[in-house]
Amino acid sequence: MDRRKALGVGAAVIGLPWLNPSSARAPAELRIGRDEIDLLTATAADLDAIDQRFGGDRLWRTAKMHLSWVHHVIDHGVYTEDIGQELHGIAGQLTTSLGWFCYDAEQQTEARVYFSEALNTAMISGDDQLATRTLSNMARQSVDLGKPREAIRFARTAERHATRWNAPGRVSALLAIRLAQGYARLGDEMNASHSIKRAWLAFDQGVTNRDPEWTRFLNEAELVCLEGMCRADLGQHRRAVRLLDRSSALQNIEHSRNRGMCLARLADAAVQAHELDRTAEAARESLRLIQGGQASMRNRRQLTLVRERLHGNPSPSARETADLIAAQIA
């Protein structure tokens, strides 16, 4: 199923009110109960799943509209105190998801606004799980923005919040690898390697029924990919190529966006390891995913960086790969 069809089917299934012509006139009283909470929660989960498959570009607009609807329900709905608490929780989780979609779509200023809003919501409501998730997202973005010290600070603060709710191993693994990414971008090999080891030890504890939905993406393939990205940032390009190559082979179709990112990073690491045939192969596969409907501006930006690294290389393979990237994502 292509991305547009998936979004259309998703909208029809979850019944987004702004896409339903029959909802042009709002009811006099908007009563919210368990059924409505389940529907809103499922919609937020569907948006996260679409992001994992296709990426956040253009998806962030749909999420923004859904968040507006949730706020409308909070402000104008009729519900019990318990339902109200759940509505605020959904709004907080959707806000940090929206920040992530904007981040993936290279809407970095908007992403920081939504992350800050989600973090404020978490602090006001005392929601340590939301704070943990949001700070993890902020740490990832800070690495890409060239702010590794900020990323480290966010990751460490997330770990403190995670301790307060006795977070399971998958959460600890995610926060440890976020910390490793900050250290790696800083060039601190000792602390990066220590954090990577911590991440794998926590990951090896396995899954539990306490794992939050937002850690489901962290499978073996993703953790291998994130380690490979750390090794590339540390200048260990051949080691990075081996890890990223392994990750791309392990990743499943539900996480195609992450596989596309892994392939783009693999192409970049291979350029710097002077493995141009591997660069060409990885870049072509990443481009095939984009042509198949993947919409992640981060992946496109990474491939653009690969093209720039290939510029001026006299190898016919390098020129051909650079021309192919330019032709498909210019």
Q: What is the per-residue pLDDT across 174-204, written as a single tens digit (0 to 9) for each?
A: 999 999 999 999 999 999 999 999 999 999 9
- The answer to whether 263 and 255 have CB atoms below 8 angstroms apart is no
Residue 31 pairs in a beta bridge with 78
Quickly list DSSP for 193-253: HHHHHHHHHHHTT---TT--GGGTT--HHHHHHHHHHHHHHTT-HHHHHHHHHHHHHH--G
Structure tokens at 155: 């990751």
Residue 204 pairs in a beta bridge with none
Write down the pLDDT at residue 226: 98
Does residue 22 register a pLDDT over 90?
no
Residue 27, SS3 per DSSP: coil
Mean pLDDT confidence for 132-146: 97
Distance from C-alpha of 53 to C-alpha of 101, rounded to nearest angstrom:
12
Looking at the chain, how many residues does it have?
330
Mean pLDDT confidence for 226-235: 98
Distance from C-alpha of 265 to C-alpha of 174, rounded to nearest angstrom:
19
Q: What is the per-residue pLDDT across 118-132, written as a single tens digit (0 to 9) for each?
A: 999 999 999 999 999
Write down the pLDDT at residue 20: 47
Does residue 1 register a pLDDT over 50?
no
Mean pLDDT confidence for 40-58: 90
- Residue indicated by tokens 């490793």: 180
Q: What is the per-residue pLDDT across 251-308, written as a single tens digit (0 to 9) for each?
A: 988 888 899 999 999 999 999 999 999 999 999 999 999 888 888 888 899 999 999 9
Write down the pLDDT at residue 294: 81
Indicate the DSSP class of residue 56. S
- Chain-centroid distance of CA 202 in Å reads 20
Report the range of poorest mean pLDDT among 5-9, 223-227, 284-288.
Answer: 5-9
